Amino acid sequence: MKKQLFIICLLTVVVNVIADDTPRHRQLGWDVEVKQGVNIGAVSPFPLTAEVRSIDEYSPRLNGTAEVVVTRWLPTTPKLGVSMGLKFEEKGMKTTAQVKNQRTEIVSSEQNIEGYYTGKVSTSYSATALTLPVMLNYRLNKSWKVRGGFYYSYMLSQSFTGFVSDGYLRVGTPVGEKLTFEDDSMGAYNFNEHLRRHNGGFQVGGSWLAIRDFTVNADLTWGVGTIFQKAFKGTGMDLYPIFMNFTFGYRF
């Protein structure tokens, strides 16, 4: 009888050990997660300015992201946690818009010309950045959590270029000399040297624990500062990075 009781107790301990396969760091209130996905969005004025009459074309491009996130769940309030991540990401887009009297600076006949443009504007933007998000997390249940916080990005490389066509430029002022772009005539612009290296903003998102330790995530990031240096007025408007980040993750 004693032997049987000993075997039952031993089996119970073994089963409990096998069933409790939660990693030690998670038992102590830490989560470590890796994520990979894409950014979809644009750099845009908010709200759209009166100069922008229509958006004729938009291409979000394939902007990859890879991220490591560490979360500390608070011992006194287990549903609340603070997380910090390190993300390598790309952001970019291509657009074609119809504008009226938009301030710009173009290159025509190898000369830089400033003025007010009416017609078609094609823009291409791309950036590669290291981003540090700091978030407050809240667990709704075992499968769902939401979060909100802020992020800081350092731009490793970036580009803002394009051209104008099918329209005209008023040189200097809205009633200045008229420079016309017709047929195959275009005026190019390149504002790369005026882009800021540092950017930051707000981030909100949520995660679903889909299967065991695999997660599906969505986050909205909204920059609070324009992508251009403060003194630059070449576009006549402030452009903010607004992107959705969709990722799949694995929790260790």
pLDDT at 62: 86
pLDDT, greater one: 46 or 200: 200
- Average pLDDT of every residue of the chain: 88
- What is the tens place of the pLDDT at every residue in 116-166? 999 999 999 999 999 999 999 999 999 999 999 999 999 999 999 999 999
Tell me the C-alpha distance between 219 and 214, whole Å. Answer: 17
pLDDT at 239: 93
What percent of the chain is modeled with pLDDT above 70? 89
pLDDT at 23: 73
Tell me the C-alpha distance between 130 and 69, whole Å. Answer: 13
**pTM of structure:** 0.85
Tell me the C-alpha distance between 240 and 238, whole Å. Answer: 7
pLDDT at 21: 59
pLDDT at 1: 45
**197 has a pLDDT exceeding 50:** yes
Residues forming beta bridges with residue 111, ordered by sequence position:
108
- What is the tens place of the pLDDT at every residue in 73-115? 999 898 999 999 999 999 999 999 999 999 888 876 667 888 9
**Residue in 108, 232, 245, 55 with CA at minimum distance from that of residue 160:** 232
Considering only 54-68, 204-218, 222-236, which range has the smallest mean pLDDT? 222-236
Q: How confident is the model at residue 19 (pLDDT cuts 50, 70, 90)?
A: very low
Other C-beta atoms closer than 10 Å to the C-beta of 215 total 20
- DSSP class of residue 196? -
Residues forming beta bridges with residue 96, ordered by sequence position:
57, 122
pLDDT at 105: 85
Tell me the C-alpha distance between 97 and 56, whole Å. Answer: 5
pLDDT, greater one: 50 or 66: 66
The stretch 17-41 carries a mean pLDDT of 77
